[in-house]
Structure 1
Amino acid sequence: MSEVTTQISSSINALMREFDIITHNLANVSTVGYKRRCNAFSKSLESQKAGRQSYSPGVIDVVSEFDFSQGNIVETGRDLDFALYGRGFFVIETPSGPLYTRNGVFRINSNGQLVDSSGRIVAGSAGPITIPANILPSQISITGDGSIGAGEVALGKFRLVDFRDDEKKLVPAGDNCYRMPQKDITPVSAENIIVKHHYQEASNVNMIDEL
């Protein structure tokens, strides 16, 4: 394949990838806590030739990454809606390891545990968050740091984590969740984050910007 043909093919593939990402973003404009994807275009493979036996000048290299900027906080009035304002994630426990999400639309399962929409346990700082059967969702209150209670009864505290500069290394895990890549990155306790009760974080997709 000639150098010109390679460059044209690369450009077409990059545009198709960009179109796929825009389509995916627009499909999730109403998804709670969704973070838009964007393409980070390198200047050229020419700038990455170190360590490679051959390269084609001008070939576009495309890297997809997430934009974790804050979405709008929208009041819903629902007793088990929680929104994060600031950097950080809720932790969801699964048999294959923890997942991380900004979607704080939760419910209570038959065991009284706080779970996500797929029935997976929402992690607390000391294990699952359990709501006794005699406490109604409408009685639940929460402080900005994620501590949950009902009157004088302490029910637990959300485990909230941050990845700081490594958050863009998170891998999509489906259902608006992320997981750590095989090359471990270390989560830390989230700081400067506020949990808002009766609110949801809207998608950070801006339809005008996407179009």
Structure 2
Amino acid sequence: MIKAYYTATNGAISSQNYLDVLSNNMANVQTEGFKKSKGEFSDLMYTNIRGPEGTDTELKSGSGSKLNKADVVFTQGAPYYTGRSTDFAITGEGFFAVQFEDENMYTRGGSFQITNIDDENYLMYQGGYVLNSEEEPIILENTDDIIDVGVVVFNNNQDLVQAGNNLFGIANEDAEYEMLENPKVMNGFLESSNVDISEEMVKLIQIQKSFQLNSSIIRTADEIEQTINSLRG
């Protein structure tokens, strides 16, 4: 019963962690350019079941599973028209570069704002400066300017890590990337989140049932253990 207790506990913890991933996806279903995460599970250690006289058998007993990691899915969301001159959507691969005090961050969200700082009109996102194709902050002389928004492409998107506020940071110091010379950018459009709410709901139901099953096993194992202990007494 101790084995069942700990195996079910591992399953319940994995379900709870995966539920956090699904909840974050669903909370950002309307966030422009948001990229959903997909959970990857792995088996915990297996042990051989002992046979007669302590001999090993070919049967193995598992210890449950765990949420090993949550990978970001970088598939493109559908573009939709807004008509705003400061809205942009990338067609194909790439990210907008945003400069903060400490480092550059990257995003697929293109809902930018014009902010006046020291009598200069900067194009900004989440408090950072949006960079142009020369990797310089974009300064607008007037609101009718044609905006040169830079697009960065990474050799491997897995070198990026979610940093909150719909931004990505570079997780790998050896990450290779380049600024595109002729990016495919749609002005007056935004990219939808790539979260499919119906797909996430199905996963949510499955993970809730898994959590309930593991919780039931934990209760049953605990009750049996208490009964055994009372008989010993």
Smaller-chain TM-score range?
A: 0.7 to 0.9
Once the two structures are TM-superposed, the CA of residue 203 in structure 1 deviates from its matched residue by 0.8
- Corresponding residue number in structure 1 for 2:229: none
Paired AA for residue 96 in structure 1: D
Give the superposed CA RMSD. Answer: 2.3
**Does residue 120 of structure 2 align to residue 115 of structure 1?**
no
Name the structure where helix makes up a greater proportion of residues. Answer: 2
- Corresponding residue number in structure 2 for 1:34: 34
**Does residue 186 of structure 2 align to residue 196 of structure 1?**
yes
Once the two structures are TM-superposed, the CA of residue 168 in structure 1 deviates from its matched residue by 2.4
Size of the aligned set, in residue pairs, is: 182
Please state whether the residue corresponding to 1:61 is helix, strand or coil. strand
**Structure 2, unaligned runs of 5 or more:** 47-60, 202-233
Moved more, 3-12 or 71-80: 3-12
**Does residue 69 of structure 2 align to residue 61 of structure 1?**
no
Give, in whole Å, the separation in 1 of the partners of 2:159 and 2:14: 21
Once the two structures are TM-superposed, the CA of residue 58 in structure 1 deviates from its matched residue by 4.5
**Does residue 17 of structure 2 align to residue 20 of structure 1?**
no
- Corresponding residue number in structure 2 for 1:187: 177
Once the two structures are TM-superposed, the CA of residue 107 in structure 1 deviates from its matched residue by 1.7
- Corresponding residue number in structure 1 for 2:98: 92
Once the two structures are TM-superposed, the CA of residue 159 in structure 1 deviates from its matched residue by 2.5
Q: 1:31 to 1:3 in 2, by over 3 A?
A: same
**Does residue 10 of structure 2 align to residue 5 of structure 1?**
no
Q: Is the 8 A contact 1:70 1:86 kept in 2?
A: yes
Q: Is the 8 A contact 1:87 1:193 kept in 2?
A: no
Give, in whole Å, the separation in 2 of the partners of 1:207 and 1:87: 23
Paired AA for residue 41 in structure 2: F
Instruction: Please give the per-residue CA displacement for 1:153-204, whole angstroms capped at 9, x wherever unaligned.
Output: xxxx322112233x12422111100101154422233488510000000111
Please state whether the residue corresponding to 1:109 is helix, strand or coil. strand
- Corresponding residue number in structure 1 for 2:139: 130
Percent identity for Structure 1 against Structure 2: 30
Give, in whole Å, the separation in 2 of the partners of 1:58 and 1:6: 7
Give, in whole Å, the separation in 1 of the partners of 2:154 and 2:3: 41
Q: Is the 8 A contact 2:133 2:179 kept in 1?
A: no
Give, in whole Å, the separation in 2 of the partners of 1:120 and 1:78: 19
Once the two structures are TM-superposed, the CA of residue 77 in structure 1 deviates from its matched residue by 0.5
Give, in whole Å, the separation in 1 of the partners of 2:108 and 2:176: 18
Once the two structures are TM-superposed, the CA of residue 119 in structure 1 deviates from its matched residue by 2.9
Paired AA for residue 29 in structure 2: V
Give, in whole Å, the separation in 1 of the partners of 2:105 and 2:145: 25
**Does residue 160 of structure 2 align to residue 160 of structure 1?**
no
Give, in whole Å, the separation in 2 of the partners of 1:89 and 1:174: 15
Q: Choose 1 or 2 for highest CA Rg.
A: 2
